[in-house]
């Protein structure tokens, strides 16, 4: 079976969509299985792991008078990770530890 350039492009698009759908289904099944085993989602577990891993830095931030200044002193890679996981806010001139993180640290 021979395809023209447009036909080949269309077949590739269909295959790519099918691959994405199968990955989403697999990801959903993994999340459901993890939730059933642990009672929390993979995202929540990642959030908790990041807090536990960076607990020393987070406690320094909490003890400081100015959270934004303490956060600014952290290496950029750590700041990016903390923002990605929602541990600190993503504000330009007023970063601070989120309430969700405070609840986890206190609880």
Q: Tell me the average confidence (pLDDT) per consecutive run of 10 residues in the chain, 107 residues long.
A: 70 84 82 89 92 94 92 93 92 88 89
Whether 101 and 51 have beta carbons less than 8 Å apart is answered as yes
Q: Pull the structure tokens for residue 63.
A: 């003890």
Q: What is the pLDDT of residue 34?
A: 87
Helix (H, G, I), strand (E, B) or coil at 76: helix
pTM above 0.85, yes or no: no
* 97 DSSP β-pair partners: 88
Regarding whether 30 and 45 lie in a shared domain, the answer is: no
Determine the structural domain holding residue 87 and report its residue range.
Answer: 40-107
Regarding whether 83 and 46 lie in a shared domain, the answer is: yes
Q: What is the pLDDT of residue 58?
A: 94
Per DSSP, 81 falls in state: H
Q: What is the pLDDT of residue 28?
A: 82
CA dihedral 82, 60, 96, 77 (to 10 degrees): -30
Regarding whether 25 and 48 lie in a shared domain, the answer is: no
> Number of structural domains, the chain?
2
Whether 54 and 87 have beta carbons less than 8 Å apart is answered as yes
C-alpha 27, offset from chain centre: 15
Q: What is the pLDDT of residue 106?
A: 86
Sort 30 into a burial class: Cβ within 10 Å, 0-12 / 13-18 / 19+: exposed
Regarding whether 56 and 34 lie in a shared domain, the answer is: no
Q: What is the pLDDT of residue 1?
A: 52
């Amino acid at each position: 079976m021979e395809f023209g350039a447009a036909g080949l492009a269309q077949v590739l698009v269909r295959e790519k969509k099918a691959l994405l759908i199968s990955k989403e289904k697999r990801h959903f099944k993994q999340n459901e299985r993890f939730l059933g085993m642990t009672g929390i989602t993979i995202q929540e577990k990642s959030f908790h792991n990041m807090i536990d891993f960076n607990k020393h830095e987070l406690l320094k931030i909490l003890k400081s008078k100015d959270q934004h200044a303490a956060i600014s002193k952290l290496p950029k890679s750590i700041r990016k990770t903390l923002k990605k996981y929602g541990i600190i806010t993503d504000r330009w001139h007023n970063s601070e530890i989120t309430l969700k993180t405070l609840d986890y640290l206190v609880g």
